Amino acid sequence: MAKEENKLEKIVSLVKRRGFIFQGSEIYGGLAGIYDYGPLGTELRHNIKQYFWDKFIAEREDVYGMSAAILMPKRVWEASGHTELFTDPLVECKICHERVRADQPEAIAGHENTHKKEKGKMAWSESKVFNLLVETKLGASEKSATEAYLRGEITQGVHVNFKNILDSMHPKLPFGIGQIGKAFRNEITPRDFLFRQREFEQMELQYYIKPDEKTGKEQFEYWKNFALDWYYGLGFKKENLRLRQHAENERAHYAKDAWDIEYYTPFAGWKEACGIHHRGDWDLKRHSEYSGEDLSYYDDETKERFIPWDIECSGGVDRAVLFVLSEAFTEDEMNGEARIYLRLLPKIAPVKVAVFPLLKNKPDLVFKAKEVYGVLKKKIPQMMFDDNGNIGKRYRRQDEIGTPWCVTIDFQTLEDSTITVRDRDSGKQERKNIDGLDKYFEEMLR
Ligand code: GAP
């Protein structure tokens, strides 16, 4: 498959222009690997998270949702193995002292390109190990300050609450705990826009099972396919997603087996969207040891006590946003003019329906358009009213933000209470009655 080198630049430019995503603290020069979401990006991200929450948590009888704190004491990360093993190798450029990932040839080549003038003098330090956890201190005085970490994965917030969930909800194995929230990593080389950030969001399921090989294999297969189906539900083409097993030397310290769901990005080829990990009893066993709390499970039926195994699905919210935008970004021609549009599935589009009066300076049209907008918004909250510029420009604007349908109120509306509905992908317009329009869109969204 061919890569489209400048597609990422086009996407970055579009999402800034249209209020989806901005460089974090941009007016102060920004911070590498940190981004802020504007109004439309926030809606898009919300829709993706909602879809995760519905499918992995709310619609299931065997999964609980939770929301743990971002700040956790150092001891948690010692127990989870992250203070010791959550590292990347880095090398330092001897010319400018910038540090880059030693295991990423593209990062090294990219940096060497910035020193074209010093050709021949390029030299790198020995590779060193660098811990990715983001450390902080809590408390007013230097002496009594508590060392804490901003969580490097949201997972540990679930494991440290395992006993609380057992004691309060009394679940029976197998059962899961799902969560969505921010994670922080001091990435050496943040790159490719939202792909590798220092602050990002994860959506995860920890699914606890009986500790035996057959159950482990079956559940691992089940969740691999469940997660892959979930990604297809975001609108990816069949050929743009795949499952890939990690080689032994690629696996994180906690994983007995690991597979990635990868997306074929137009800018960098196959890249990880989600990790499916067989974590075995690694986390609960270590937290039992380090905290002194008994994190075992008692099986009423078999009268056995054991530490369950954990099968994990761990997806990046921001990577899902980036990959969905990459898949949806389309350039074509309509009515002899070049256009850009986002071919987003209606369920994740930040605006579902835009309503326009044909002309801004005709009070009757504006009044009627506001009325239609008000009625629809009660049923479909993600709506937009637009009367800026001519109708062609408004369609282009809505195409660029991926709005599936535009409703126009024109002079005929005032006579027969009909409007036009324009379809984003085909540009085709259909006349419909205002009466029943809310039901029509609700049906289309279903
Ligand atoms: N709890 C397991 C875990 O955190 P991971 O493979 O390190 O596993 C899971 O991360 C997902 O989080 C990745 O598949 C990716 O989507 C997202 N992710 C990881 N690091 C990221 C980063 N620096 N920027 C954006 N997303 C990231």
Q: Give the rounded distance of the alpha carbon of 297 from its chain centre.
A: 32
Nearest Cα residue to atom 20 of ligand 1: 196
43: number of Cβ within 10 Å:
20
Smallest CA-to-CA distance from 312 within 234, 252, 262 is with 252
Does residue 316's CB lie within 6 angstroms of at least one atom of ligand 1?
yes
d(CA 272, ligand 1 centre) in Å: 8
Question: For residue 390, what are the CA distances in angstroms to 93, 171, 338, 386, 395?
Answer: 53, 58, 17, 10, 9
Regarding the beta carbon of 262 and ligand 1, being less than 6 Å apart is answered: no
Cα(74) to centroid of ligand 1, in Å?
20
Q: Please list the residues that pair with 132 across neighbouring strands.
A: none
pLDDT at 1: 62
- 3-state secondary structure (DSSP) of residue 206: strand
pLDDT, block means (10 residues), the chain with 446 residues: 81 97 97 97 98 98 98 97 94 92 88 84 91 94 87 98 98 98 95 96 98 97 98 98 95 95 96 98 98 97 97 98 98 93 98 97 97 97 96 96 98 98 97 97 95
3-state secondary structure 12-76: HHHHHHCCCEEECCHHHCCCCCCEEECHHHHHHHHHHHHHHHHHHHHCCCCEEECCCCCEEEHHH
Nearest to 275 by CA among 155, 174, 132: 155
- Write out the DSSP string of 334-395: ETTEEEEEE---TTT-S-SEEEEES-TT-HHHHHHHHHHHHHHHHH-SSEEE--SS-HHHHH
> Helices in 170-265 by DSSP H: which ranges?
213-232
Query: From CA 144, how far away is CA 147, in angstroms rounded?
Result: 9
Task: Give the residue, by CA position, lying nearest to ligand 1 atom 17.
Answer: 316
- The CA distances from residue 219 to 226, 288, 301, 399, in Å, are 10, 24, 20, 41
Pocket test for ligand 1, best of 199, 202, 250 (most atoms within 8 A of CB): 202
The label of the residue with tokens 């482990």 reads 216
pLDDT at 120: 76
Mutate to test the pocket of ligand 1, among 243, 272, 277 (most ligand atoms within 8 A of CB): 272
Q: Ligand 1: does its nearest atom lie under 6 Å from the Cβ of 283? A: no
pLDDT of residue 363: 96
Residue 231 CA to ligand 1 centre (angstroms): 15
**Residue-level pLDDT at 4:** 75
Q: Using a 6 Å cutoff on CB, does residue 189 contact ligand 1?
A: no
Q: Which atom of ligand 1 is nearest to the CA of 261?
A: 14
With contact defined as beta carbons under 8 Å apart, do 100 and 91 qualify?
yes
User: If DSSP codes are grouped into helix, strand and coil, which group holds residue 265?
Assistant: strand
| 316 C-alpha to ligand 1 centroid (Å) | 5
pTM, rounded to two decimals: 0.96
Residue 107 confidence (pLDDT): 85
Provide the total of helices (H) and of strands (E) in the chain, helices listed first.
14, 24
Question: How remote is the CA of residue 374 from the centroid of ligand 1, in Å?
Answer: 40
* DSSP3 helix / strand / coil % (the chain, rounded to 5): 35, 30, 35
413 secondary structure, DSSP code? H
CA atoms of 436 and 433, how far apart (whole Å) = 7
- How much is the pLDDT for 3? 66
* Residues in a beta bridge with 148: 73, 136
Using alpha carbons, select from 424, 430, 405 the residue that is nearest to residue 334. 424
318 CA from centroid of ligand 1 (Å): 10
List, in order of start, the domains of the chain with CATH numbers.
Answer: 7-86+132-326 (3.30.930.10), 88-131 (no CATH), 351-445 (3.40.50.800)
Which residue in the block uniquely carries the two structure tokens 């079956």? 218
3-state secondary structure 138-181: ECCCCCCCEEEEECCCCHHHHHCCHHHHHHHHCCCCCEEEEEEE
Distance 79 CA to ligand 1 centre (A): 20
For ligand 1, what atom is nearest to the CA of residue 197? 24
**Cβ neighbours, 10 Å, residue 322:** 26
pLDDT the model gives residue 359 = 96
Alpha carbon 386 to chain centroid, angstroms: 29
Task: Give the model's pLDDT for residue 13.
Answer: 97
Tell me, in angstroms, the distance from the centre of ligand 1 to residue 55's CA.
20
